[in-house]
A = this chain, B = another copy of it.
């Protein structure tokens, strides 16, 4: 069993076409070629923490993958990042462990950002005027970074509750080639942007729809991955012309779609799967004035694809 550390992972990442790998994963998933059991979850109380176990395989593939990712939100008090974890690859024909990628949750962050870029590629209006980002954390940065190859837009409006964090974000992301405006009023994001990414761990909505918004918008919600979290208000979900789940079965239980279904705001048959859009089996955006929502709860198939790609790159089998 190969033990691969974070430096080794970071070293090979630039060699990998992550968009292609993860698109292929969503495509296989929506074609029914992936086996992805329900997410395993461990909740800790003192201090509060949550652990997700996401696992599965693509039929006929070389490996199955088990990903463990944790969030302990009081870790920063101890000088530790809140996220941690690892990914394990096993031989699909024998169960023999092949590799442990000690990624410290880094690959979970990356594959989440890549999924956001894929959602934007398929669902954003043809011309993005300004990108709106809600949140100022790791995903707020990575989403922007991975959107760069997908859109030529370099205008950003970032929303947060803490001006100091907004300022740091503005400074850091400006250095990567974006023109960043900060705001503490979410209306500024809705009014000025037509590609919005929500990246918060909110349990009450941070994006509230405004009835006088008439332009088309695509919204990718990446923050909500549990039963309780919610970033988009029901008016937004109700307004959406197209609602796309990374995994319909998972979004029935977690995330924005789960919340909206549970409250009768949307119907089950309104939901499309991202892989089906990629495969051309379901329509994505059909006009620039539509409002589309992608609810990304994080599917094991993303972990499987990034783990395999990293491992193959490291062992020179790419």
Q: Give residues in A with beta carbon < 8 Å to B.
A: 1, 3, 35, 37, 40-47, 49, 51, 53, 55-57, 59-60, 64, 66, 68, 70-72, 75, 78, 80, 83-86, 88, 90, 92-97, 100, 102
Contacts and interface: CB of A to CB of B under 8 A. Distances in A.
B68 A88 contact: yes
A53 B100 CA distance: 16
A76 to B, nearest CB: 11
A68 B96 CA distance: 11
A72 B94 contact: yes
B51 A90 contact: yes
Nearest to A83: B95
Q: How many copies of the polypeptide does the oligomer hold? A: 2
A80 to B, nearest CB: 6
Contacts of A96: 80, 84
Contacts of A97: 84-86, 102
B70 A51 contact: no
A96 B64 CA distance: 23
B90 A95 contact: no
A105 B185 CA distance: 55
A148 to B, nearest CB: 31
A37 B44 contact: no
Contact of A55 (B3, B40, B47): B40
A41 B49 contact: no
A84 to B, nearest CB: 4
Given A85-B95, A96-B80, A97-B84, A37 B41 contact: yes
Contacts of A86: 1, 88, 97
A289 to B, nearest CB: 44
A94 B53 CA distance: 16
A95 B66 contact: no
A70 B3 CA distance: 20
B53 A40 contact: yes
A100 B239 CA distance: 48
Contacts of A45: 59
Q: Which 10 A-B pairs have the closest CB atoms?
A: A70-B95, A84-B95, A40-B40, A72-B95, A72-B94, A75-B94, A3-B3, A84-B96, A80-B94, A49-B95
A64 B51 contact: yes
Given A35-B42, A46-B93, 4 more contacts: A49-B93, A66-B68, A86-B97, A97-B102
Contact of A44 (B3, B43, B71, B92): B92
Contacts of A93: 46-47, 49, 72
Given A95-B75, A97-B85, A42 B57 contact: yes
A42 B44 CA distance: 24
A37 B35 contact: no
A95 B51 CA distance: 8
A212 to B, nearest CB: 44
